[in-house]
Amino acid sequence: MSLDDPKISAAPRRIRPLDEAAVNRIAAGEVVERPASAVKELVENALDAGATRVGIDYADGGRTLIRVTDDGCGIPASEMSLALARHATSKIDGSDLLDIHSFGFRGEALASLGAVGRLVLTSRVAGGEAHRIEVTGGREGPLRPDTARPGTVVELRDLFFATPARLKFLRSDRAEAQAIADVVKRLAMAEPAVAFELRDLTGGSARGVFRAAPETGDLFDALRGRLNTVLGAEFAANAVAVDAEREGLRLTGFAALPTYSRGAAVAQYFFVNGRPVRDKLLLGALRAAYMDFLSRDRHPAAALFVDCDPHLVDVNVHPAKSEVRFRDPGVARGLVVSGLRHALAGAGHRASSTIGGATLGAFRAPEARVTWMDRVSGNRTISGTISDPKSWPGIEGFAEAGGDFAPAARAEPAPDPPAPDHPLGAARAQLHETYIVAQTTDGIVLVDAHAAHERLVYERLKRQAAENGVAAQALLVPEIVELPEADAAELLGEAEALGRLGFDIEPFGPGAVAVRATPALLGNVDAAALLRDVLDEIGAGGGSFTVQGRIEAVLSRVACHGSVRAGRRMGAEEMNALLREMEATPHSGQCNHGRPTYVELKLCDIERLFGRT
């Protein structure tokens, strides 16, 4: 090794403690990564103080100004200087680091912000006088009296002026402002009863970015109202309520229908004991829950809350507090998967309302409105007359018609009207031997017969497999798979669950597993590769979902080949039977690949297409 290595010096260096300012700047790098991190810490402090209204102002993406105003309990003048010290907090006493009931508990935020920027803290408790204190680059000024309403105002200017190297790693003002808005919206979802207002003061003028009024009502009503504000009315209209409980953990929130999916994972929000988190375990469970309904290039949308005793989850994993660790990760993952699947099954045949809107948008209105009288007047005529139906162009697909339409003068029995308790209506026609047209009480439904029947057959096969188990195919010669002892022990712990899926394994000496049977549906399978995939899934808290996913994929292929094929003509009774089975079968609103099986158009929307409103 060369002596020119910068890590090696000719003379040994002395060990010495760093000064307080350097320690605070180093600590700030863990807590304050960007302006959005500062906003998160300050808004969480406001919520912990019992605020009912929180105002957030920023300028230049948070580089030059961040101001958070709240109407919380405030800080007594005698404790304001202590509030700026590192590891000083009123939220815990340090005796039990798992018993956390607040957003913050480390006591680092204000000290870190004061170390890297120009911080002004102004606060007033109810019935007391207001005071302010300034901190510039870690240097604290004197406490001074001030005038302010009860609550606290924290103003941070020139973020990272004391550590200019950090400024080079910030993104554009627009990107930083977007990150701030995302943080505020997440916290707004966590606290529906609190009012939030976010403003951009860049250029000296105040521009409203986000505003949320306080929500009232029970848990689900308040949350639905807040999600309507944050995520939009479309999400709220196309989401189902989730409420499940298992072994001390409770899952609540809203999850979007599979047909209301996104092209990226941008609408996935998890909260653990009210704290916004980005946890790989929970996000993986969300994907697993929708695995049976979405194609790989689509992503679910959900806002889910996991609540439990604080001792069952460790939030002190990272200074940013965005990661958590459950005492039993398998229970948490299983709760999310089973809770979501149960909620989605309860939605029945329901599909996203946005599908109908997209269908209407695909229609093209004619460039000029031409009336019937225009067509028969002057030089513009049509061949034939109204009383001559033989001159009408042939229309294929109406099974009841049997050819040309009957003249109006000939009495024909009118078809039965759609029953009010049949949401998908009564079949009226089949178009291009593929699509069923049904009339509902207030509109029409267009059904993809093949896609719908594919889902129905698939659900039937899954139900049979769940009731009777998955048939196992015994191997003539057991396959021995050698693994590390710890992996083999972990895999054998899932032997019972794998057995229900047709996979028979047993120990074969230290660090080896004997595979005696594999699921018959999978045919010839590489047992060693599949077991390693299962191990990877277990490591992520997924248990036997890998095997189950593969089996369900085979069932899906079987259903696809056994369903009604496009181009097959169906009778009225057969079409109506398909509609009734769709209404009774969960998840029938989307096919096995995540595409919608039907489109519903309301009569008022159709009338608007023809200018009849």
Domains of the chain by residue range: 20-212, 219-346, 454-562
What confidence tier does 450 reach under pLDDT thresholds 50, 70, 90? confident
Six token digits for residue 180:
């701030």
pLDDT tens profile 233-247: 889 888 999 999 999
Counting residues of the chain whose pLDDT is more than 90, the rounded percentage is 32
| Radius of gyration from C-alpha coordinates of the chain | 32
Give the residue-averaged pLDDT of 153-175. 89
pLDDT of residue 374: 45
What are the pLDDT digits (tens) for 18-54? 666 666 666 665 668 899 999 999 999 999 999 999 9
Beta strands in 317-434 (DSSP E): 325-326, 426-431
Three-state SS for 71?
Answer: coil
Query: Which has more confidence, 419 or 253?
Result: 253
Is residue 538 over pLDDT 80?
A: no
- The pLDDT value recorded for residue 61 is 95
Contact residues for 108 (Cβ-Cβ < 8 A; gap 6+) = 27, 31, 86, 87, 319
pLDDT for 133: 95
What confidence tens digit (pLDDT) does each residue in 211-220 have?
Answer: 999 999 888 9
CATH classification number, 20-212, choose in 3.30.1540.10, 3.30.565.10, 2.10.25.10, 3.40.720.10: 3.30.565.10
What was the pLDDT predicted at 391?
43
- Residue 358, pLDDT above cutoff 70: no
**382 pLDDT band (50/70/90 cuts)?**
very low
Write down the CATH superfamily of domain 454-562: MutL, C-terminal domain, regulatory subdomain (3.30.1370.100)
Q: Which two tokens stand for residue 138?
A: 């870690």
Instruction: Of 390-394, 544-548, 557-561, give the lowest mean pLDDT range.
Output: 390-394
Q: Measure the CA–CA gap between 458 and 588, rounded to whole angstroms.
A: 10
Higher pLDDT, 220 or 401: 220
Residue 116 Cα distances to 104, 163, 258, angstroms: 20, 6, 45
Structure tokens at 333: 């993952």
Tokens of 148: 């302010």
pLDDT more than 70, % of the chain: 77
pLDDT at residue 364 above 80? Answer: no
Single-letter residue type at 449: A
The one-character DSSP state at 12 is: P
Q: Which two tokens stand for residue 59?
A: 């300028």
pLDDT surpasses 90 at 315: no
Rounded-to-integer distance, Cα 211 and Cα 184, Å: 10
Average pLDDT over residues 326-349: 88
Residue 509 reports pLDDT greater than 80: yes
Question: Containing H/E element for 438?
Answer: strand 435-440
Q: How far apart are alpha carbons 412 and 576 in whole angstroms?
A: 21
Whether 20-212 and 454-562 share one fold: the answer is no
Q: Which CATH class is domain 219-346?
A: alpha beta
Q: What is the mean pLDDT of the chain?
A: 80
Let me know: does 216 contact 226? Beta carbons within 8 Å: no
Give per-residue pLDDT as tens, 268-313.
Answer: 999 999 999 988 889 989 988 888 788 777 899 999 999 999 889 8
User: Under DSSP, is residue 552 helix (H, G, I), strand (E, B) or coil?
Assistant: helix
pLDDT at site 612:
77
Q: Is the pLDDT of residue 166 over 90?
A: no
Question: Among 12-26, 107-121, 587-601, which is the least confidently predicted range?
Answer: 12-26
The pLDDT value given to residue 566 = 64
The CB density around residue 216, as the number of other CB atoms within 10 Å, is 10
Q: Please, what is the angle between helix 35-48 and helix 109-116, to 10°?
A: 140
Question: Which run of H or of E encompasses 197?
Answer: strand 195-200
Mean pLDDT of 358-371: 55
pLDDT: is 255 or 486 the higher one?
255
